[in-house]
Amino acid sequence: MTPTTPATPDPSVAALDALVGEWVSEAAMPLEPGMTMSGTTTYEWMDGGRFLIERSTAAPRFPRSLSLIGRVEPDDPGSRLVKHYFDSRGVARPYEITFEGVVWTLTRDDPDFSQRYRGTFSGAGKSITGACDISPQSQIARSRHESDIESENPMTRAIRLFLLVEAASFVVAGLVHFGVLVRGYEHGMAAPAESTIAVVLLAGLGLSWVWPARTRALGLAAQGFALLGTLVGVFTIAVGVGPRTVPDVVYHAVILAVLAWGLVVAARSPETLDRRR
């Protein structure tokens, strides 16, 4: 995703910036005991920073939705905050929003279907726990920010998979050149270099679990280092210093392609993976 949102929102709606990013949501369904709805919701600023765009997806039996959030009077910072909701069923509903400290509410007063959601931010703004009252049932909803449950993001899983595969390949290459796995391919320069690259890739993979919000940056850094090291290896092969066996040449060609592919995947991942801390 190429971001087109401004660096900062308009001051009149700055409180909404706490929502910007990608969230994974889980909600118990009070009318259907034992059923849990899970999905993903993203928030991003419309150009100009006056309105926030909300997009939600869930399992096929639940609707996809699009909402627009902002002031009733965009030029009046004292006017009400509202949310206009539309979904794939053809449903359209208006809500009123309030932000007070770490608590935000969505309210819809309608005789046929009234709703009130009250959510509380926690974990340095990385998670929300709340309850939604629905005429008059209440369903408990938990939302956890992508930086807390990053593994559920497909791009994050892809970055981690690349780091794992690349690290494993360098571990094997290092063991081969140390003479541990196969004899006859020992190389005193290649073995420690490949081992170092493997350690960096494994460190990036491990740190992506410690700081999941930084997975994109870690993927770019670790794979960038690995690509640079591999290019140095290709240069040593070209000048006759590095190992020049057929398996070595093939391995370098393949791992260069894999590293380049992995860097492209990481670079194209949404920047929201790194934005929330």
- Model confidence over 202-229: pLDDT tens digits? 999 999 888 877 888 999 999 999 999 9
Question: If you ran DSSP here, which 8-state letter would residue 212 be given?
Answer: G
3-state secondary structure of 66: strand
Q: What is the mean pLDDT of the chain?
A: 82
Q: Which residues pair with residue 132 across a beta bridge?
A: 117, 139
Q: Which helix (H) or strand (E) holds 169?
A: helix 154-177
pLDDT confidence of 197, banded at 50, 70, 90? very high
Q: What is the mean pLDDT of residues 62-69?
A: 91
Domain ranges, ordered by start, for the chain: 11-145, 150-275
Question: If you ran DSSP here, which 8-state letter would residue 90 be given?
Answer: S
Q: What is the mean pLDDT of residues 16-31?
A: 80
Long-range contact set of residues 228-232: C-beta below 8 Å, sequence gap at least 24: 229/193, 229/196, 229/197, 230/197, 230/255, 230/256, 230/259, 231/256, 232/193
Superfamily name with CATH number, domain 11-145: Calycin beta-barrel core domain (2.40.128.20)
Determine what percent of the chain is predicted with pLDDT higher than 70. Answer: 83
3-state secondary structure of 219: helix
d(Cα 258, Cα 226) in Å, to the nearest integer? Answer: 11
pLDDT confidence of 152, banded at 50, 70, 90? very low
Give the residue, 138 or 143, on which the prediction is more confident: 143
The pLDDT, as a whole number, for residue 115 is 84
Asked if the model's pLDDT at residue 52 lies above 90, the reply is yes
Cis peptide before 6 (omega within 30 of 0): no
Asked if the model's pLDDT at residue 190 lies above 80, the reply is yes
Tens digit of pLDDT for each residue in 76-112? 888 999 999 999 989 999 999 998 888 889 898 877 7
Determine what percent of the chain is predicted with pLDDT higher than 90. Answer: 36
Crossing angle for the helix pair 246-268 and 215-238, nearest 10 degrees?
A: 150
Q: What is the mean pLDDT of residues 172-187?
A: 88
